[in-house]
């Protein structure tokens, strides 16, 4: 279980209000064996945390974009990047509201 490089990355962003301890996030993600099943299935789990999940949406969208760019730069192979999360801090406002615009702009 585990890779020496990113091959099949899955980013899971924490929820509101952010700034949770990593051990707490792991306990939540693995409460029913979810995180362990991902790792056992050959996935690379990246847990994205926010210093302040209550900051402006654009600021936290910037955190998401920076994480995505780093994962893409480190990823080996062509596996699709999967992004998910909990509550507004993950797939809610920060990701959906600004991410499409900012990533399109970053590609140009």
Task: From 69, 73, 64, select the one nearest 98 (Cα to Cα).
Answer: 64
pLDDT 10s digits, 33-82: 999 999 999 999 999 988 887 777 778 888 888 999 999 999 999 999 99
State the alpha helices, DSSP H only, in 1-108.
Answer: 22-29, 34-40, 57-74, 87-90, 93-107
What pLDDT is recorded for position 3?
73
Domain ranges of the chain: 9-107
Q: Specify the higher pLDDT residue, 72 or 98.
A: 72
Q: From the DSSP assignment, how many helices (H) and strands (E) are in the chain?
A: 5, 3
What pLDDT is recorded for position 103?
46
Checking if the pLDDT of 95 tops 60, the result is: no
User: What SS3 class is residue 38?
Assistant: helix
What pLDDT is recorded for position 96?
54
Task: From 83, 84, 94, select the one nearest 52 (Cα to Cα).
Answer: 94
Whole-prediction pTM:
0.78
């Amino acid at each position: 279980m585990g890779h020496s490089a990113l091959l099949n990355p899955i980013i899971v962003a924490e929820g509101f209000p952010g700034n949770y301890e990593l051990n707490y996030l792991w306990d939540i993600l693995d409460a029913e064996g979810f995180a362990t099943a991902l790792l056992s299935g050959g996935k690379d789990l990246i847990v994205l945390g926010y210093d302040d999940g209550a900051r402006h949406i654009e600021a936290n969208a910037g955190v998401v974009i920076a994480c995505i760019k780093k994962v893409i730069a480190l990823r080996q192979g062509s596996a699709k990047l999967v992004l998910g999360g909990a509550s507004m801090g993950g797939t809610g406002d920060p990701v959906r509201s600004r991410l499409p615009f900012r990533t399109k702009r970053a590609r140009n």
